[in-house]
Amino acid sequence: MLELRFIRENIDLVREKTAHRGLATDKVDEFASVDAKRLELLQEVESLKNQRNKASKEIAQLKQGSDEEKKQADTLIPEMRKASERIKGLDKELGDIQERLQELVLSIPNICSDDVPKGTDDEDNVEFKTWGEKPTFSFTPKTHWEVGEDLDILDFERAAKLSGARFALLKGFASKLERVLTNFMLDLHTERHGYEEVLPPFLVNSASMTATGQLPKFADDLFAIKDWDLYLIPTAEVPVTNIFRDETLDEDQLPIKYTAYTPCFRSEAGSYGRDTKGLIRQHQFDKVELVKFTTPETSTQELEDLLADAEEVLQLLGLHYRVVTLCSGDLGFSSTKTYDIEVWLPGQETYREISSCSNFLDFQARRGGIRYRPNGQKKSKLVHTINGSGLAVGRTLLAVLENYQQEDGTVAIPEVLQPYFEKRF
């Protein structure tokens, strides 16, 4: 969420930036009128409350004085009764307006960074860098679902029996590879990149979903638990960012760097018909997430560093990829700038997103009340939050299946993972 005063004072900029994302600007327009009404009402009700507070003290004093003074209090009380009724009425009105204003503010997206290219969809994303090269094969490489089904390690039909479309059953080598990749990523980020590992709840309440921006606008993409104020997390970003919700940190603690493995659950309500084959778009998938809490001064650099941390996973696995800067129309609601890492999939002859790294500045921190106290200063400030996948495990698995497939139908094990496959018993 943006600061009220910022929107008020930069209403044209907010409208323009919202339009760049391809979003409707009617909420921005409505903000202006509701906000003005709120300020007016606030002034009125606050001055009435001031009068009431003063009179209240006066009555307290008079009540303890002489009979004469007690009488004075008795004449004052009916007056205050009227004032109180008026306050109650205005407070109710103000409450309604504030609720509406809150809805509006929560539905206004973040301001995208100046270095984000303008555009309407993923066609307009700009290539930032590439690493490695497309592998060559002496045979025609299969897609990962062909590799998986031929080896009997991916079973989509039985998964459909268990749960429906967009679920997968991993068996044998695939299920172990999934687990090994998860461990490899966590080990890398904790031992080499200085992240602390956390394992959060996979169900969170609506307050947490609101702070990170999934609610109220994107409720349709979430799985909700019937009769509970609980949702299945769509990404570890939600529970991990919310760790410090409504808390004030010390500047010396920053930056705080967490990495977390969680399964992720997405209904992807609008996605039916897209990527129906294979592991690409599932209702449940594993992900290792990277989350940082930083000062405003360092967040720009910390995003670059986080991107490098995520990239290193692919580099060590020897998987060719490119990094694109998302254009304004493809940018997530809460993000000011996002890099997507796209891995090369030879079976499908295409690049597919495998990580998304974003800087939210103070947008999530303001929604969630995540603050820090700058050294030597009395006033607290909002932290900046950054996160990215490091990486999506299921997509890493399919990238390994497609890139490491052999002519005989088997799949080679990337060198860096081989220690994880040594026999233990």
Partner RNA sequence: GGAGGAGUGGCCGAGUGGCUUAAGGCGGCGGUCUUGAAAACCGUUGAACGGAAGUUCCGUGGGUUCAAAUCCUACCUCCUCCGCCA
Residue with token string 């009555």:
59
The least CB distance from residue 380 to RNA, in Å, is 4
What DSSP character marks residue 113? Answer: P
Count the Cβ atoms, other than its own, within 10 Å of residue 364: 29
The least CB distance from residue 86 to RNA, in Å, is 10
Amino acid making up residue 24: A
Active site residue 395: yes
378 binds RNA (CB under 7 A): yes
52 binds RNA (CB under 7 A): yes
The least CB distance from residue 54 to RNA, in Å, is 7
Alpha-carbon dihedral sign for residues 296, 256, 335, 363: negative
Cβ proximity to RNA, 80 vs 417, nearer residue? 80
Catalytic residue among 355, 356, 358, 389: 356
71 binds RNA (CB under 7 A): no
59 binds RNA (CB under 7 A): yes
CA distance 142 to 144: 6
The size of the chain, in residues, is 425
Considering only 24, 47, 65, 410, the residue that binds RNA (CB under 7 A) is: 47
Q: Which residues neighbour 195 within 8 Å (Cβ) at sequence distance 6 or greater?
A: 189, 257, 258, 259, 290, 309
Cβ proximity to RNA, 4 vs 416, nearer residue? 4
Catalytic residue among 266, 352, 366, 367: 266
Using CB under 7 A as the binding rule, the residues of this chain from 75 to 114 that contact RNA are 77, 80-81, 83-84, 95
What DSSP character marks residue 405? Answer: B
Active site residue 266: yes
61 binds RNA (CB under 7 A): yes
Active site residue 281: yes
Active site residue 46: no
Packing angle between helix 393-403 and helix 299-317, nearest 10 degrees? Answer: 40
201 binds RNA (CB under 7 A): no
**Phi, psi dihedrals of residue 196, rounded to the nearest 5°:** -95, 135
- Work out the end-to-end distance of the chain between its first and last CA atoms, rounded to an integer number of angstroms: 53
Active site residue 356: yes
Active-site residues: which are they?
A: 266, 281, 353, 356, 395
Q: Interface with RNA by CB under 7 A: which residues?
A: 3-5, 43, 46-47, 49-50, 52-57, 59-61, 63, 77, 80-81, 83-84, 95, 371, 378-380
